[in-house]
Amino acid sequence: MSIAQPPFAGADVSRAPPVWRDWRAILAAIEGATSRGLAPGEAREAGRLRIFFVMALFAAAFVYAGIFAAKAALLSGLEGRGAAGAPAETVRADLVDRNGRILAVDLIRYGLYIRPQEVYDRAATLDAVARILPGVPRARLANVLGRDRGEYYIAGDLSPEVRDQLHDLALPGLYFQDEEGRAYPLGETAAQVIGLASRDGRGLSGAERAFDGAIRKDSGPVALSIDLRVQAALQDEVDKAAVHFGVKDAVGMVVNVRTGEILAMTSWPTYDPNHPERTPPDNMVNHAAATVYEPGSVFKVFTLAEGLDTGAVNIRTVFDVCSPLVLPGQIIHDYDKGDCALPLWEVFTHSSNIGAAKMAIRVGGEAEDHYFHAFGLFNKAPSELIESARPLTVSRMSVNSVATMAFGQSISVSPLALATGMSAILNGGIYRPLTLRKLDPGESPAPGRRVIKESTSRVMLGLMRLNGTNGTGRSADLGAPGYLVGGKTGTATKLVNGHYDLGKKNLASFAAVFPTDGGFNQDRYFVLVMMDEPKVLAETGGFTTGGAVSAPIAGRIIERIAPFLGQTRRADEPDEPPPGRNKDVVDASVLDHIQAVSGPVGPPINPVITDAAGGRAR
């Protein structure tokens, strides 16, 4: 009886796939080992043994295939990229406001990839993916599915729910990859100051960029100095006013001048950081930090602080403002000069350009250069924000430069730089960088450096309060009665084709402070409002000045935020001065109170024009 040839004996396995070549070689070896020199009965037993081995091998193959399929279905891994569900390598911590409210948070997101060579039914796959992801063009899907090899990114930022819908279809060739998903639940609120993070988990702008290292450590929520209640009120008032006046752009800030913490910062127009791809690039600019403006008469706060701190002038020093100030190639006028002879306090309440320029020239260019450097006006604001912009400054301190910078021309600074310098004037004389980081309980503010005497700071608070009750800032104080509001208006005529466009394009500003009383160890707040190119409206009498446009906005903001900041309305505040010439009619006791901390009264200054070196110029 002849023995049949083993099924795998002599088989040519060279043409089989590598895996099957191995299997067939093993089976052939088993066949040969169990077939040589056997009796007929033994041959039958050997046949049963061979069948057992073959069944065992097929069972192992099916188990292996099942494990592989389950792994592919559950993990949908992509070689070299990590499996979905694996820990993200660049997890970002939550950003929260000073009270723990969420500003930015990581969410689980996925990217969809297709390997067309693994797709079995391409038409069904195209229809299913297009139905679940209607935002992906069918033509693009068809193009990818029509290829024979490769791996193609189809869509990103998929929620777990959408990923599950696709996964549950059990379509071969579809793979998922973890992505960094960052969500901003407040949408447009504080958008520019919070900033953006990239899909690979890196901060790009705003606080996301400023505190990228701390956020990427993921050692717990990163708390900003922002108070969401204050931010919402500020942004609401600025946004409404910006739309109402049809402005080009607008800025608002609220700062605790004692600690240097920025409690709110807004820039209009704004955008939704959840959908930056839908946003015009200009809307993403944080004008509070990244844009420089000629600020106008709000700069007189710096000018008067300089003059008072040198001791060259005091609040009753008189300036002749009767005639325009004639400089080489330039004539300086006043918008509202009042009387011909103005004491310094009326130079402030009337916002006299002539008076401020004459004071600056009298004190000298060297002093102005020193103080403006000390106030940080000749450098970009020191800040965590990378957006902080450099100022535009003059090349030399000529008599024209000294005079015009005194009322906020010939220099362009960012609102952030202006707020940083002005905080030093209002907090007792200490210049310190403003911060977006919340100070820990009991943590002292940054040490800073002294730039003016404490007595000078006290006089400036008195003058700003006087301007709030009797000067160009009255509407701000009237909008927030009982909170002792002071401030300074600014109306910067804008340059158009190298010339100032008188009365047509203005930057209308108001720099407010409240409360103006109390010690320097108590919290005090600075509020800045800027409206760029407001349109003429009948309700403002056709004016686009800081007093007509921005001061009322500041008053409404203070009225809303003061309770959040623990400020109590003063019921015993004296009645407001009567209308009419109330810029000039002030109770002498008010001036005496301000003068008491500024030193003895000096003789009136003879308005002599001097150059930067102190010499006389005609």
DSSP string, 325-368: EEETTEEE--SS--SSEEEHHHHHHTT-HHHHHHHHHHH-HHHH
pLDDT value of residue 14:
43
Catalytic: 297? yes
Dig out the tokens for 493 from the structure.
């005529």
Task: Mark out the alpha helices in 522-602 (DSSP H runs).
Answer: 546-561, 588-595
Query: 3-state DSSP call for residue 30?
Result: helix
pLDDT, tens digit, for every residue of 268-300? Answer: 999 999 988 888 999 999 999 999 999 999 999
- At 253, is the pLDDT very low, low, confident or very high (cuts 50, 70, 90)? very high
pLDDT at position 91: 83
- Average pLDDT on 332-344 reads 81
Cα of first residue to Cα of last residue in the chain, in angstroms, is 136
Asked if the bond preceding 269 is cis, omega within 30° of 0, the reply is: yes
Q: Which of 26-40, 249-263, 367-381 has the lowest mean pLDDT?
A: 26-40
Contact criterion met (CB below 8 Å) for 171 and 165: no
And the tokens for 216? 């990427």
Reply yes or no on whether the pLDDT at 80 is more than 80.
no
Helix (H) / strand (E) element for 252: namely strand 249-256
Helices (H), 499-587: 546-561
The pLDDT confidence band at residue 338, using thresholds 50, 70 and 90, is low
The mean pLDDT of 313-326, rounded to a whole number, is: 92
Model pLDDT for residues 197-242, shown as the tens digit of each residue:
987 889 999 999 999 999 998 788 999 999 999 999 999 999 999 9
C-beta of residue 30 within 8 angstroms of C-beta of residue 59: no
DSSP 533: S
Question: Over the stretch 565-611, which tens digit does the pLDDT of each residue have?
Answer: 999 998 765 544 443 335 666 767 777 778 776 655 444 333 333 33
Rounded Cα distance, 562 and 615, in Å? 49
Q: What angle do CA 192, 449, 286 make, to 5 degrees?
A: 10
Residue among 610, 416, 405 nearest 528 (CA): 416
Q: Distance (Å, rounded) from C-alpha 262 to C-alpha 364? A: 34
What's the pLDDT at 578? 40
- Residue 520: pLDDT band by 50, 70, 90 thresholds? very high
Task: List the catalytic residue out of 35, 76, 225, 297.
Answer: 297
Structure tokens at 390: 């450099």
Neighbours of 359 (CB within 10 A): 26
Question: Comparing 55-64, 107-116, 347-356, which segment has the lowest mean pLDDT?
Answer: 55-64
Q: Do residues 24 and 11 make contact, with C-beta atoms less than 8 angstroms apart? A: yes
pLDDT 10s digits, 129-164: 999 999 899 999 999 998 988 999 998 888 899 999
Peptide bond preceding 515: is omega within 30 degrees of 0, i.e. cis? yes
92, 271, 337, 567 from 200: Cα distances, Å? 10, 22, 59, 43
CATH class of 95-224: alpha beta
Strand, coil or helix: 56: helix
The 3 state secondary structure assigned to 552-565 is HHHHHHHHHHHHHH
Q: How far apart are CA 464 and CA 469, in angstroms?
A: 9
Amino acid found at 349: T
Q: Report how far residue 275's alpha carbon sits from residue 336's, in angstroms, rounded to the nearest whole number.
A: 47
Predicted pLDDT at 334:
86
Q: Is the pLDDT of residue 329 over 60?
A: yes
pLDDT for 24: 52
3-state SS assignment for residue 317: coil
pLDDT for residue 592:
76
Q: Is domain 231-270+291-439+453-574 given the CATH code 3.20.20.70 in the classification?
A: no
| pLDDT (0 to 100) of residue 5 | 38
Q: What is the 3-state secondary structure (H, E, C) of 442-495?
A: CCCCCCCEECCCHHHHHHHHHHHHHHHHHCCCHHHHHHCCCCCCEEEEEEEECE
Average of per-residue pLDDT values in the chain: 83
